[in-house]
Amino acid sequence: MTSTSELNELIEITRDGQRFYQHACEEVKDVELQHLFRDMAQAKTQVIQALSVKLAADHKKVSQGGTMVGKLRELYMDTKTKLGGDPRVAYVDQLEEVEDRILHAFEDALEGAEPDVRALLATELPRLRACHSRMQQLKHSLH
């Protein structure tokens, strides 16, 4: 994969997470979770901006969409929460999986990346790992 398409794929996967956090924030009534979800969406926005700056600097087009997996996950959650159950637990479970997906995508991309892209990804990974850890801890505390 070229670094342009790889960076755009990472942007799309991260945007899925950003949008899902924003959606979850609107759906849950728990104020603490809303605050956390907003923080997590903002972290994703910062990662997207960092990757977009790299592409723009290289005069490459930045992807503006997300992925089909992201859209399906949101549709699944809307259906699941309408059928009952605790939406807090359901959203946290799904968001932790979103964090897994983002983190694994970045770690996989890091392995074969060109040096300048590798440096960029290495800079963003601590933020992504912190987000992943936060959601993992929250998931375990709710179960």
The full set of domain ranges for the chain reads 3-142
pTM, 2 dp: 0.89
pLDDT of 84 higher than 80:
no
Query: CA-CA distance, 40 to 131, in Å (whole number)?
Result: 7
SS3 of the chain? CCHHHHHHHHHHHHHHHHHHHHHHHHHCCCHHHHHHHHHHHHHHHHHHHHHHHHHHHCCCCCCCCCCHHHHHHHHHHHHHHHCCCCHHHHHHHHHHHHHHHHHHHHHHHHHHCCHHHHHHHHHHHHHHHHHHHHHHHHHHHHC
Among 21-35, 44-58, 73-87, 113-127, the minimum mean pLDDT is found in: 73-87
Does residue 1 surpass a pLDDT of 60?
Answer: no
CATH number, domain 3-142, options 1.10.357.10, 1.20.1260.10, 1.10.3720.10, 3.40.50.150: 1.20.1260.10
Q: How far is CA 67 from the centre of its chain?
A: 11
Mean pLDDT over the full length of the chain = 90
pLDDT digits (tens, 9 = 90+) for 88-138: 888 999 999 999 999 999 999 998 888 989 999 999 999 999 999 999 999
Residue % of the chain over a pLDDT of 70? 99
